[in-house]
Amino acid sequence: MKKASDIMVREILSVPGDTPIKEAAERTVEKGVGSLAVIDEGVTVGIVTDKDFVRYLASGKEADYIEDIMSTPLIKVGSDADLLETFRVMTENKINHVFVEEEKSVAGLDLVGIVGIVSLKDVLRHLPEYANRR
């Protein structure tokens, strides 16, 4: 069975937390994506999906920066998690996007970093392959 790393998107649209909401929304529309990662000093700290924009506008609350409307904590799966495991994590957490993390050895240090993102749509697109093989 395919793994999260096989179907993930490696290029994640990322913006710093102090990016104005308007600018982050512009980039989301421009790139035609459904989620963006919020980073702080190189570390991903949150995610903003279309739903977060809906929630923000519905609330009518004053917010200036993307970090004010992002969702936390990060929900992640390991890069070797298979599609069913990835699907389970998404449904359990009621989310449509999950980050993929991988352990890397950099200069003798074992670091865990985010290497991609998987959307529920990507998972559902690939599941029929297994239905066919049953």
Q: What is the DSSP letter of 75?
A: P
By CB under 8 A, residue 121 contacts another protein: yes
Of 83, 87, 101, give the one whose Cα is nearest residue 7: 83
Tell which one of 4, 13, 15, 21 touches another protein (CB under 8 A): 21
Nearer to another protein, 2 or 102 (CB): 2
H-helix or E-strand spanning residue 91: helix 83-93
Helices (H) and strands (E) in the chain, counts: 6, 6
Tell which one of 10, 22, 106, 108 touches another protein (CB under 8 A): 22
Q: Give the binding site for another protein (CB under 8 A).
A: 21-22, 25-26, 28-29, 50-51, 53-58, 60, 94, 120-121, 124-125, 127-128, 131-132, 134
